[in-house]
A and B are shown apart, each in its own frame.
Chain A
């Protein structure tokens, strides 16, 4: 079941500069959202807070599965993931990078391997499986990040500019992987982007960060 999240009165202040100011918004379960806005408006900050990497200065976020509010615990953390703009590739093989999320969940070796191969297949990196991941090109690294995120079957998937600075071909692979997660798993997906056309291709709803708050585009 996908997760919905309700942001209420959220503010984030970094050393006395206000980035998000008393923002309230509800992301519906199973929808795809594109968050847009100029550089430095707070998209990444919002995604880091929503993925529990950072806590807000004030206000709160509630996560729901259906009508049940979920407690902030390891279980909740493991229902979601965020693809960071810098990805954070581990200095090991491509395969081990993908396997990581499943290993720390204590799954069986066989199922870890099978699921990871499947994820690598989906992003077209099977042939790079046993190579050191730091040697991949930046487009391939992005695809690896996608594989690493989707292998854990998140119910809430967040992606921070998943196709910035990569070519058309890589963008297509990444986008089709995102659409596939949407169709197969009906996960809630929130991605930030600077491209309106990409937002239109992927998202059900486009959200703008304006005046340190979120506002929805009517379409």
Chain B
């Protein structure tokens, strides 16, 4: 217990004096997860919306598949990407293994199904009368789709935040394809795993505190958005 208390004390000191190693790690974490998320949103939001708005054969199969991918085990994603990116893999020529780019790809793969699937759910739950209203006011197919997606914006934002929460806390995939190289591919979660292993609890705890605060922040944002959505739907329901 004493151990943890002193760890906390040193951790706070590290945070307060803006330790440069610590800052570098945090910054890389945010960069990797942020970039992965932008990519996942750019692909996942249109994909989820399309799945919801377009009728095509095998649609429900596609949705089930996407839902299954939401729970992809990070280590398995890491393993597959490792095989693809390693020298003998089919993408080996790009020499991406053990770079932040490999980590971004891994996290994009992990967050894409979450963004797409939750976007699908959000767009599907828009009241069908919105589609009809847009049509009666003269919207063409594209404009109607935009109107529906716009109604789902809160849910889509929640989808992106949920995906961010998952990737920022993920360790399995980035450890395998990133390698946890100091100053190059070391991020918060991989650093915590390693420092704990080494018995260097201060840095591990400092990073843990920051990661927790970040999670708290993300979940608060999610909660606020969802509350807001509830209020709106109550109003709409009357």
Whether, in the assembled complex, B31 has its beta carbon less than 8 Å from a beta carbon of chain A, the answer is no
Judge whether B132 and A53 touch: CB under 8 Å.
yes
4 extra interchain contacts, Cβ-Cβ under 8 A, other than A90-B147, A91-B150, A104-B137? Answer: A53-B136, A88-B134, A104-B139, A149-B136
Collect the chain B residues with CB atoms within 8 Å of residue A88's CB.
127, 129-130, 132-134, 136
Interface residues of B in 132-171 (CB under 8 A from A): 132-140, 143, 147, 150-151
Q: Which of B79-87, B181-189, B201-209, B230-238 contacts A (4 or more CB under 8 A)?
A: B230-238
- Given A134-B232, A134-B235, verify A86-B129 contact (CB < 8 Å): yes
- Given A134-B232, A135-B235, verify A101-B137 contact (CB < 8 Å): yes
- Residues 82-93 of A, flagged 1 when their CB comes within 8 A of B and 0 if not, give 111011111110
Interface residues of B in 92-142 (CB under 8 A from A): 127, 129-130, 132-140
- Given A91-B232, A134-B235, A134-B236, verify A148-B137 contact (CB < 8 Å): yes
Docked pose: A92 CA to B130 CA in angstroms: 12
Docked pose: A149 CA to B139 CA in angstroms: 13
Judge whether B133 and A87 touch: CB under 8 Å.
yes
Collect the chain A residues with CB atoms within 8 Å of residue B236's CB.
89, 91, 134
- Given A88-B129, A88-B130, A134-B236, verify A81-B137 contact (CB < 8 Å): yes
Collect the chain B residues with CB atoms within 8 Å of residue A92's CB.
150
Q: Which of A52, A87, A134 contacts B129 (CB 8 A)?
A: A87
Judge whether A78 and B133 touch: CB under 8 Å.
no
Docked pose: A84 CA to B130 CA in angstroms: 10
Collect the chain A residues with CB atoms within 8 Å of residue B139's CB.
104
Between A and B, 27 residue pairs with Cβ closer than 8 Å are: A48-B132, A52-B135, A74-B138, A74-B140, A77-B138, A82-B136, A84-B132, A84-B133, A84-B136, A88-B127, A88-B130, A88-B134, A89-B133, A90-B130, A90-B133, A90-B147, A90-B150, A90-B151, A91-B151, A91-B232, A92-B150, A100-B134, A100-B137, A105-B138, A134-B236, A138-B238, A152-B138
Collect the chain B residues with CB atoms within 8 Å of residue A78's CB.
138
Interface residues on A, range: 20 to 34
Whether, in the assembled complex, A193 has its beta carbon less than 8 Å from a beta carbon of chain B, the answer is no
Whether, in the assembled complex, A51 has its beta carbon less than 8 Å from a beta carbon of chain B, the answer is yes
Docked pose: A90 CA to B150 CA in angstroms: 9
Docked pose: A135 CA to B132 CA in angstroms: 21
Collect the chain B residues with CB atoms within 8 Å of residue A52's CB.
135
Judge whether A51 and B151 touch: CB under 8 Å.
no
Collect the chain B residues with CB atoms within 8 Å of residue A48's CB.
132
Docked pose: A100 CA to B133 CA in angstroms: 10
Collect the chain A residues with CB atoms within 8 Å of residue B130's CB.
88, 90
- Given A81-B138, A134-B232, verify A104-B143 contact (CB < 8 Å): yes
Docked pose: A91 CA to B27 CA in angstroms: 36
